Amino acid sequence: MWWNKKKESLDEKILRILKESFEKQKITIDKVVGRLMRETGINENEAHVITEEAFSKVVSKREELIKKAFSNILSFPFTKTHRDIIENGILSLSNNKIESSDLDESIFNIRLLESENWLIKGEKLVKENKLNEALDSFDNSLKFSQSNMSCLIERGKVLQDLDFHKDAIKDFTKVIDNNPNDFSVIFLRGCSYMKIWELRSAEDDFNKAIRLSVNANEQQTRAAKESGYDSVGSMYRRTLAMLSIFKDDDTEFIEQMKMRNNKQRIV
């Protein structure tokens, strides 16, 4: 019955008020202090000390939980500037100064920037013929944005140069799935198929690339002519003709084809 209900002690009342207050969004210290003073009769100084201590514990706990939620993101190789921005964002979210959607948007934009920076770094390393280092850079780029098609193409080319043709095919296939008319990437994938003796797949890719190459732009056509061909299609037909010199079956060779090991993880 109501008259048998245990009377709430001062400490219990303070804890209840704090709990109810912190369950609300964007609660301020001043509001909690005011409520404590009204409902418990404690003075302003006591209310401030209690509230600030409680706020500190709540913020610390929220920050710990939020950091845990973002632990996977924070494991990425961010630059110091970008990492500081994200960690400050986590602190602001812990203090209810920003919405989670604001932090998500900020991280998304930073990831795009990081992906592009690692791509540029990788391209520079390719020009310096530092292919393994370039591969690491492209891996990092794709950690930040797996939909960076330019990076998938560049990584695929490096994988080809390092004879990781099966891995190169995976990257090229992702790009082709995104843009089925990208004849230059279809041709590149065909080259890797040819290298691992998957001749029918290579032939299919070469023929498709030749058909689509009628849409080659001026830069692509000029590059083909500089290589001694009348068109992109004629350059591709030359490679298609090379298929005839390959054996139909070379199991021993195929078994020796390289793939990246688990330590060289493909994203």
Mean pLDDT of the region 239-243:
87
Give the CA count within 13 Å in the CB-facing half-sphere of 19. Answer: 6
Mean pLDDT of the chain: 83
Q: Quick check: 109 pLDDT over 50?
A: yes
Query: 174-212: per-residue pLDDT in tens?
Result: 999 999 999 999 999 999 999 998 999 999 999 999 999
**Confidence tier at 264 by pLDDT (50, 70, 90):** very low
Query: 158-176: per-residue pLDDT in tens?
Result: 999 999 999 999 999 999 9
**Confidence tier at 248 by pLDDT (50, 70, 90):** low
- Residue 119's pLDDT is 97
Q: Quick check: 118 pLDDT over 80?
A: yes
Burial of 13 (0-12, 13-18, 19+ CB in 10 A): middle
Mean pLDDT of the region 246-255:
54
Query: 8-59: per-residue pLDDT in tens?
Result: 676 676 666 666 666 565 567 788 788 878 878 888 888 888 877 877 776 6
Q: Quick check: 146 pLDDT over 80?
A: yes
- The residue count of the chain comes to 267
Give the CA count within 13 Å in the CB-facing half-sphere of 24. Answer: 11
Return the higher-pLDDT residue of 257 and 223.
Answer: 223
- Residue 122's pLDDT is 97
Query: 50-95: per-residue pLDDT in tens?
Result: 877 877 776 677 667 666 667 777 788 888 888 888 888 877 777 6
Q: Quick check: 117 pLDDT over 90?
A: yes
Mean pLDDT of the region 241-256:
62
Q: Which helix (H) or strand (E) holds 5?
A: none
- Residue 261's pLDDT is 55
Percent of the chain at pLDDT > 70 equals 77
> 92-99: long-range contacts at Cβ-Cβ below 8 A with a sequence spacing of 24 or more?
93/62, 93/66, 94/59, 94/60, 94/62, 94/63, 94/66, 95/59, 96/25, 96/26, 96/27
- Residue 14's pLDDT is 65
Return the higher-pLDDT residue of 158 and 108.
Answer: 158
CA distance 71 to 82: 15
- Residue 257's pLDDT is 56
- Our measurement of the distance from residue 48's CA atom to the centroid of its chain's CA atoms, rounded to an integer in Å, reads 44
As given in the structure block, the two tokens for residue 48 are: 């401030």
